[in-house]
Amino acid sequence: MDFVALETIRELQNIDKTNEYYIFVAPGEDRCLNETKNFHIVELKSYSYPVWEQISLPNAIKKLNLDLLHCTSNTAPIHTPVPLILTLHDIIFLEKRQSSSKSFYQEMGWYYRKLVVPKILPKCKTIITVSNFERNRICSSLNLSKEQVVSVYNGYNTHFKQQEKQPEITKKYIPDDDFLFFLGNTDPKKNSPRVLKAYSIYLKSSEKKRPLLIADLKEDFIDTILKEENIEEIKSFLHYPGYIANTDLVAIYNGSFAFLYPSLRESFGIPMIEAMACGTPIIAGNTSAMPEVAGEGALLVDPYKPEEIAEKLLMLETNNEKYEQYVAYGLSRAKEFSWRKSAESLLNIYSNLKV
């Protein structure tokens, strides 16, 4: 189940005891959601997702005689027997592709969205997205009015909060108690080559020379970047354990001196809010939705300029007063987002929908 949908449904269960909900899921043992008196989980079987969504789901809706359907992950049935609400997280699939190194599953998903989304948009009563940036992109790219598209911000889990350092957890991933953190992956939008280039520039001027913890990147991918950027000498400062459990991320954020998130494009950027809630200054890109979500008081950089990323890191390291200002700003900014607020906005959309 989509992470954003899951967290929002949990909050809807807390605030709405009146309306009746049916949550349609595919078969599986991993049930992340519990039924309540007015929230029912319905398992639909099918041999592929397109068949599940285009045939099994509409048939189930007819049998239950529902009032509306909310599809939460970018696609929906082309033919629905009830009014449709769609959450369109982003339209990256309509933009120029920066890389073709996708798995077969990702490729098929890309083509499926490209085929289905244009067909379902005219049939939507409301289209929900996650930021005003993405709302404007959707409206301009798909020729929709701003009355048709609504922004509902994401939230973050409340276990992300400021706390004492937990070296017993962080040492599973990096031996040092004082480090920088980069949540990267192979997607070009995560900007990994420029982040590593920026880190190499930082090392040349830093007195501390804090090591860099990198999540979700394998050694061979990192080695390729280091060779292409001619910065192989920095490898001894890098730690790349691969996957970091979500339950350990709280300790990682709290243990890190700063969090690097200078992406090229984000429709929202939940990790920024998680880090700020833990009292960790973030260095984020000044593009797409990141200034809107992080706020103008955050450390925003041109993600295409490694020198600028390095400059902000060095500023944090040498100016303790500024560092504490960004800690305080982040803690305050994070309070503006919650899954409860997301659920309240969603319930308001349901209540005001003219069917």
> How many domains is the chain built from?
2
- Give residue 19's pLDDT: 96
Helices (H), the chain: 3-15, 49-51, 57-64, 104-120, 132-142, 167-170, 192-205, 219-229, 246-255, 270-277, 290-294, 306-318, 320-334, 339-352
% of residues, the chain, pLDDT over 70: 96
Domain-embedded: residue 161: no
- Give residue 1's pLDDT: 46
Domain shared by 129 and 207, yes or no: no
Q: Which domain holds residue 314?
A: 167-334
- Give residue 41's pLDDT: 95
Of 11-15, 89-93, 150-154, 162-166, minimum mean pLDDT range: 89-93
Binning pLDDT at 50, 70 and 90, where does residue 293 land?
A: very high
| CATH assignment of the domain containing 24 | 3.40.50.2000
Mean pLDDT of all residues in the chain?
94
Domain shared by 148 and 176, yes or no: no
Q: Per the structure block, which two tokens stand in for 46?
A: 């099918």
Mean pLDDT of 250-260: 98
- Check: CB of residue 212 under 8 Å from CB of residue 245: no
Whether the per-residue pLDDT at 262 is higher than 50: the answer is yes
- Give residue 354's pLDDT: 66
Domain shared by 230 and 304, yes or no: yes
Alpha-carbon 96 to chain mean position: 20
Binning pLDDT at 50, 70 and 90, where does residue 101 land?
A: low
Nearest to 278 by CA among 168, 198, 181, 172: 181
- Give residue 107's pLDDT: 78
Domain shared by 116 and 135, yes or no: yes
Nearest to 147 by CA among 120, 126, 123, 124: 126
Whether the per-residue pLDDT at 98 is higher than 70: the answer is no
- Give residue 128's pLDDT: 98
More confident residue, 119 or 355: 119
Domain shared by 321 and 347, yes or no: no
Domain-embedded: residue 162: no
Domain shared by 310 and 179, yes or no: yes
Domain-embedded: residue 197: yes
Whether the per-residue pLDDT at 272 is higher than 70: the answer is yes
- Give residue 65's pLDDT: 93
Task: Give the position of tokens 């079987």.
Answer: 45
- Give residue 63's pLDDT: 95
Binning pLDDT at 50, 70 and 90, where does residue 27 land?
A: confident
* CA–CA distance, 76 with 52 (Å, rounded to integer): 10
Task: Kindly compute the dihedral angle of the four CA atoms of residues 170, 172, 173, 177, in this order, to the nearest 10 degrees.
Answer: 40
First to last CA, the chain: 27
Domain shared by 174 and 318, yes or no: yes
Whether the per-residue pLDDT at 78 is higher than 80: the answer is yes
Domain-embedded: residue 216: yes
Domain shared by 175 and 281, yes or no: yes
Binning pLDDT at 50, 70 and 90, where does residue 318 land?
A: very high
Domain shared by 49 and 145, yes or no: yes
